[in-house]
Amino acid sequence: MSTAFFTTPGRFFRGNLHTHSTRSDGVLPPDEVCRRYRAEGYDFLALTDHFVGLYGFPITDTTGLRDTGFTTILGAEVHSGAMANGEIWHLVAVGLPPDFTPGDVPHFGPVEGQESAADLARRCVEAGAYVAIAHPQWSGLTMEDARLIEAAHAVEVYNHGCAIGCDRPDGFHTLDLLLTEGRRLNLIATDDAHFSEPDHFGGWVMVKSSANEPQALLDALKAGHFYSSQGPEIRDIRVHATHIEVDCSPAAAIIVQGQGSAARALHGASMTTGRMELSRFAASPWLRVTVVDRAGRRAWSNPVWVN
């Protein structure tokens, strides 16, 4: 049985969901950020500047930067409340309305009595946004922190800017433990580009949508009809009672992960399909797939719930 989004109508569109401009702490103006992503072959971009008073709570109107073959989704990186380490929360909210109400967030520090991150995430979702817990490793997020955000759709598992700037790009530990606790979350790879260093064009989502239009893309994101990548393609995942089959672009490894230590890997040269038995995953209600190419670049599926 193929996972649903590979067989639904539409095509895959490449996009970045986490990017900054001169509206907050990026170094390029919004029009140049969009131009560069368009020139690099991206189909869509969410400009997600920091939604704090220091920058005037920006939700940048990028509608005028759309053209044939390239679109934008309004959004922001939103903040409020303190994590266990005392630092302020970071959440990516894609699809926010331009009049989204700011909280009491004057700068990049918690303020006594301000809205909790859990309430902020819920308010973003109620406003129509797709919400992800941003860069857990960079933030120093604890599992106690992560459990608080019940309204999120996803965990940011690869952040290219954090990979380049501090070698803390990862969110898989957070994601996998939340999945094991029964949370139905997906995963995203992003740039978090500021263009002050080579922090761009390194991680993206491939969204299966009926059209390259903001609402259609948002609907597909919320439905989980996408995978994340640094380069490789995932073309199909078929889960059967006893085994899993994966079709992909030429790969050096195809890896399946599940709950706890459950994992299987298939290694080879220029593999475009792989088949692995699922006996190792009998106790796991979910699976996810990683495809690795010869250069070490990865693509990651969303979790597939099998029980």
Q: Which residues pair with 78 in a beta bridge?
A: 51, 91
- Whole-number pLDDT of residue 250: 98
Q: Where in the chain is CATH 2.60.40.10?
A: 234-305
Q: Where in the chain is CATH 3.20.20.140?
A: 4-229
Residue 287 Cα distances to 21, 40, 82, 186, 227, angstroms: 36, 32, 32, 12, 14
What architecture is domain 234-305?
A: Sandwich (2.60)
The encoded tokens of residue 251 equal 């790969």
Q: How confident is the model at residue 48 (pLDDT cuts 50, 70, 90)?
A: very high
Those residues with Cβ within 8 angstroms of residue 206's Cβ, 6 or more apart along the chain or in another chain: 12, 13, 14, 226, 227, 228, 229, 233, 234
Kindly tell me if the per-residue pLDDT of 307 is higher than 90.
no
Q: Are 208 and 11 in contact (CB under 8 A)?
A: yes
pTM of the model: 0.96
4-229: CATH number: 3.20.20.140
Kindly tell me if the per-residue pLDDT of 2 is higher than 70.
no
Kindly tell me if the per-residue pLDDT of 1 is higher than 70.
no
